Amino acid sequence: MTYDQTLHYLYHQMPEYQRIGLLAYKEGLGNSLALDQIFGHPHTHYKTIHVGGTNGKGSTSHLLAAILQESGYRVGLYTSPHLIDFRERIRVNGTTIDRQYVIDFVEKYREQFEPVMPSFFELTMEMAFLWFAEQEVEVAVIEVGLGGRLDSTNIISPDLSIITNIGFDHMKLLGDTLPKIAAEKAGIIKPFTPVVIGETDNTEVAQVFIDKATSVDAPIVFAELHMKNFVSERTETGWLFQAYGYPNLKGELQGLAQDRNARTVLTAVELLLETGYNLPKEAVYKGFAHVTAITGLMGRWQQLQSSPRIICDIAHNAHGLRYVAEQLLAEHYDRLHIVFGMANDKDVDSVFAFMPKNDVYYFTKASVERALNEKTLRAHALTYGLKGDCFESVKDAVNSAKENAGENDLIFIGGSSFVVADALPLFI
């Protein structure tokens, strides 16, 4: 098979949540454990760090990977979803997995894994674990796919667990209250393994984590409480952080949520140092300042064009998009154009309740089955006073926004990682 044929096989023979949603979700770790047995438990050949939470998992994972790499470690990084190419999910020292390895993996092992009937995520996770072992990585940063307790990645025994925050997302699978969602996310807390909790603005949620950590004798650290003298300031080129031991720490990522991610990462660095990792301060500075070049991270308040300025962000639920809306209102422009689409399993109304008013919307749908119809999206938006035209493709919506925008206007592209994924190739 060619690379494209291999991807077609993976997407269509293995149910993929990114593409079709709930029908692809397989509850339980049975398949993951069976696959892991087939491949000889490759994740046991290197250290791991497990990163879960509702939002900020990707930024946190990439920042940690960048710091570890700059510290001299050979680093594996497993994240999801990808934006342009499947191989973005699996990286070693910032370099994506080889195309030929993807092809060979499927052709060599399909007779062994097909009887297990794994999901797309379960199989590609095991592909990543095996690739990391063969590439002789020393440590791998593993991002949770969905939830935590029953997520495929929860077969690893990490040196550190991280839960960035808790917000409403995937409620049909994880629960309809924040404590219920937190209980699922808390499933990655392992016996005697330290855990960092990023945001703790809900006492019930915090208690869920405390109870879980206590039950398995896991040391728990709340980043917001631990980083007492942490100060953050937004600049034109990113963030400037003042933290104990890290004065004038420049952060490249510009999203409003990145100050919270920074606190989480710095707390994680401190705990890793206590467990024996060698993470020089210089590596922390370089990792924060150059994370996109080091790891290939995309889609986090990323500027795609300067005149008119075009920004994209993969925030895709109310918890994440609230930060985006706040940031859009704080930007300087003559007029704001918003190219917007969402997945059909998201709480659209809770998002439109706080999105910017009196701006021009371009309602669209991404090229995946999970995309919400653009006319349905606009109907919801109209009830909140948000107005705009409908476009059958992201490309058409972006082109219309560019035609209408003046030199000093701002175009924002987002609402879904799928919308950003369709938009990015238009600017490469």
DSSP per-residue codes, 383-397: TTT-EEEEESSHHHH
Q: Please name the residue ranges forming H helices in 302-367.
A: 318-330, 348-352
Q: What residues have CB less than 8 Å from 231, skipping those under 6 apart?
A: 241, 242, 243
DSSP secondary structure letter of residue 343: B
Give the count of domains, the chain: 2
| pLDDT for the residue 349 | 92
- Which residues face 242 on adjacent strands? 231
Q: What is the Cα–Cα distance from 112 to 118, expressed in whole angstroms?
A: 11
| pLDDT for the residue 26 | 55
| pLDDT for the residue 54 | 86
Lateral strand order in the sheet of 47-52: 95-96, 90-92, 75-78, 139-143, 47-52, 160-163, 195-197, 220-222
C-alpha distances (whole Å) from 285 to each of 3, 74, 246, 324 are 37, 18, 8, 26
227 and 376 both lie in a single domain: no
Determine how β-strand 246-251 pairs with β-strand 238-243: antiparallel
266 and 313 both lie in a single domain: no
Q: What is the Cα–Cα distance from 150 to 84, expressed in whole angstroms?
A: 27
| pLDDT for the residue 18 | 46
Crossing angle between the packed helical segments 99-113 and 3-13, to the nearest 10 degrees: 40
Residue 59: name the closest of 281, 260, 245 by CA: 260
86 and 114 both lie in a single domain: yes
Q: Taking the CA atoms of the chain, what radius of gyration do you get in angstroms? A: 21
178-211 burial, b at 16+ Cβ within 10 Å, e below that, comes to beebbbbbbbbbbeebbbbbbbbeeeebbebbee
Angle at 286 between CA 197 and CA 95, to 5 degrees: 85
198 and 57 both lie in a single domain: yes
| Domain C-terminal end among 238, 261, 295 | 295
- The count of other CB atoms within 10 Å of the CB of residue 239 is 21
Give the CB-side neighbour count of residue 391, counting CA atoms within 13 A.
21
Kindly report the length of the chain: 428
73 and 183 both lie in a single domain: yes
| pLDDT for the residue 235 | 86
C-alpha distances (whole Å) from 313 to each of 113, 117, 392, 413 are 36, 34, 20, 7
| Domain C-terminal end among 276, 295, 314 | 295
310 and 188 both lie in a single domain: no
CATH number at residue 398: 3.90.190.20
279 and 319 both lie in a single domain: no
| pLDDT for the residue 17 | 39
Residue 118: name the closest of 14, 9, 17 by CA: 14
Q: Tell me phi and psi for residue 50, to 5 degrees.
A: -105, 125
Indicate the SS3 state at residue 9: helix
CATH number at residue 208: 3.40.1190.10
389 and 411 both lie in a single domain: yes
376 and 272 both lie in a single domain: no
390 and 334 both lie in a single domain: yes
| Domain C-terminal end among 256, 278, 295 | 295
| pLDDT for the residue 15 | 54
126 and 155 both lie in a single domain: yes
**Cβ atoms of residues 78 and 140 within 8 Å:** yes
Please give the single-letter amino acid code of residue 40.
G
C-alpha distances (whole Å) from 344 to each of 23, 374, 416 are 13, 10, 10
99 and 206 both lie in a single domain: yes
**Cβ atoms of residues 103 and 3 within 8 Å:** yes
Q: Distance of alpha carbon 375 from its chain centroid, rounded?
A: 28
Helix (H) or strand (E) holding 105: helix 99-113
- From the first residue on, what is the mean pLDDT of each consecutive set of 10 residues in the chain (428 residues)? 94 59 60 95 98 93 98 97 95 98 97 91 95 98 88 95 81 72 92 94 90 97 92 90 95 92 97 98 98 96 95 92 93 96 90 94 94 96 96 98 97 96 94
The tokens describing 258, both together, are 């990145």
For residue 259, give its domain range. Answer: 3-295
